[in-house]
Structure 1
Amino acid sequence: MEPASPLAIADFRRYWCARFIAVFATMSMVVLIGYQLYDVAREDYGMSVAEASFQLGLLGLAQFIPLFLLTPVAGLAADRFDRRYVAAFANGLDGLIAALLALLTWADALNLPILFTLAAAHGAARVFVNPAMSAIAPNIVPAPLLPRAIAMSSMAWQTASVIAPAVGGLVFARYDWLPHAMSALMLGGAMLLVIGIRPIKANHTGQRLKPLRQIIEGMVYVWRERFLLGCITLDLFAVLLAGATALLPVFARDILFVGPEGLGLMRAAPALGASSVALYLAFRPLERKVGMKMLYAVAAFGALTIAFGFSRSFLLSLAILAMMGAVDMISVFIRSSLVQLFTPDDKRGRVSAISGLAISASNELGEMQSGIAAAILGATGAVVFGGAGAILVTLVWAWYFPELRRANSFEPQELKREVTT
């Protein structure tokens, strides 16, 4: 008998828990690395607000370069090897980076070169996690339950994203080394949980191809499938422009004056909104007009970004950030479901890697864009400019990729007919 819920599947429960604690650990690391870098730039190097903001942009670039270089290899690894071990190895490596951060923070030995190096190493480790983890879910959950499984997985991601920045910020204010030590332990736990999932291998129909040919095959497949290309690039360009998250340390320290505790709450607010929506979607998933709903959600994200840029009230800013997380969750849920359901299993690792590259590029390159824009326009101007750009991208993509508007349902065969007619 087919299970009624993904949570009835033991492997999915392990998968969900591993995702939760790994995201908790990495979100705490990312938030605090950004704050530590900005604070070191201001205090130890005597940089101005604009100069330190630019360093945040460079931090995004430092994390993106290894991501860009290693994404094809990570996708290939997820399609050629046991996906459990790929994800577990990457979590273990990231745990070592967290432990080193804890040690150096405790010893007060951090400087800009060290922070940039560890951020780049963190980016290199994380690039191997997402393709493998994304490709595992369709192998342990029946296709009819996959949208609910994706919603629950997103709920794990978003719930951890709510808790981690707030907890990390509060603990950091008292014991600055402890959040990184906690991240190291959690990543070790995630590694063990992933290994506990039953052995999984994708359907390697193209395994006889040489590795380089397989990498190229995955890229060509995404390029030729306009529907996948539209889904992936919509998120890439919209979030790349509306990258307000990168400038939250500036708003926390020098605009809203709320310090690291306030930064933790600000980083948690979008995830709170997103996790609320994810919880709803886990039990009441969207069924019809999914493509148009995705486009509306991205446009709303841009509009809310503009509102956040103009806000000077901490409470109002938190409310806007929560709404941004809510509409972004709708977009993420729809796009992730469509990409997984549209892609054949033997290519899921590579397609997930390309999708992950787009998401991370939108985040890391968005940080660089925000840092440069903030140096020129100021933090408020950069955020407002990015939000307007996200709305423009949505309008262009809705026109250029009509396949996105035609996507009506999550049923795989029906979906393929809808977007190819």
Structure 2
Amino acid sequence: MNDAQEAVRLDATDPLPTLRDAFHIPPAPGGTYAEAAYFAGNSLGLQPKSAARWVTEELEDWSRLAVAAHTKGRRPWVDYHELAREPYARLVGALPHEVVAMNSLTVNLHLMMATFYRPSGDRTRIVIEDSAFPSDSYAVRSQAVHHGLDPRRTVVRLRPREGEEHLRTEDVIDYLEREGWHVALLLLGGVNYLTGQLMDMPAITKAGRAAGAVVGWDLAHAAGNVPLRLHDWDVDFAAWCSYKYLNSGPGAVAGCFVHERHGRDAALPRLSGWWGTDPATRFEMRPEISPPASADAWQVSNPPILALAPVLASLEIFDRVGMDALRAKSERLTGYLAARLEGVRGLELLTPADPAMRGCQLSIRVPDAAGVVERLAATAGVIADAREPDVVRLAPAPLYCTFEDCHRAGAALRATLDVQPHG
């Protein structure tokens, strides 16, 4: 049995059959295949076929009921965000009242920092990873400036050891034990967008809170990718987008987690708006806010219904499958793809080799990353993405990627780089 036949066999016998038929798979942009092998779900997930129905139903209610759809629609808009509450709670390991669907990721981070970044005395620092996504860097720097602080002194960027690509958990903890009395906020990415490293969130959260810091997580590349237990880990807050692994569409409504101990604290400062008041009295139009004892207290505006509908379509799929089953398949697919890349000259794997330290993303360093991505698409219909100058990212998302896709990507990379295996 050759490698291609083995990939077909693995797809046929995997404990979790692919849900590829539940998604619109784009046509292959090149090569002899009809469908693309899509490895860019860490940038934009594929469209669930059910998303159109969810959106169309809201458009129909809008045309049929107009303003009355807020209370008389098939899914009334006035509390539409409630439909995402329990699925989101299951997805990130939270209690239902600890999560809310709202805004976009960076907006939510700013709303969280408006509450939880309270620099005082010697405790002013914000700690992020040096390879944080640029939006996070911009956000924390602007928060420092907003408080009258110099971001060059206030924002600490943790770097891997010399010659290494990943932050070691013990180095993060060591910094917190030595310098934690200066740290007001620790804000790291649960899965690093560039390298695909999965951080030890429970251990780092414990160390951050022991140091007296507030601990928040950017879960843009973790939500829908790896199992999370935010409540049990005692995380203070977290935020995530929903257009990557959650397949909810470009710019889709994001999600936010606030631990219940904070939700119960009415004295916490917040940037408030209409939807952050108690829904029981919201339409009494009082000038004073009465926040509920939940993550809803951080809402500002009513949810955009047409943008939230695809989120619900996607969460329906995640609820049906479950994150533990998806994680197990992710490890099988990512491990298989990693094996296909072994021995390729001119290719350096940046993502940790240990499956427990990565999600479903492999980042590789190659010369001319953008050119490699273009050739993969043109010659084999393999869609990946590049991060300049030399990183190609491939994400075998387990909902719709297959072992056959992984075999195809490995063969295409070998051919594209025009190299031979060692030996």
Q: TM-score range by the shorter chain?
A: under 0.3
Which has more strand, going by share of residues?
2
Which has more helix, going by share of residues?
1
Q: Which has the higher contact order (CA 8 A, sep 6+)?
A: 1
TM score, norm. by length of structure 1 = 0.28
TM score, norm. by length of structure 2 = 0.27
Larger Rg: 2
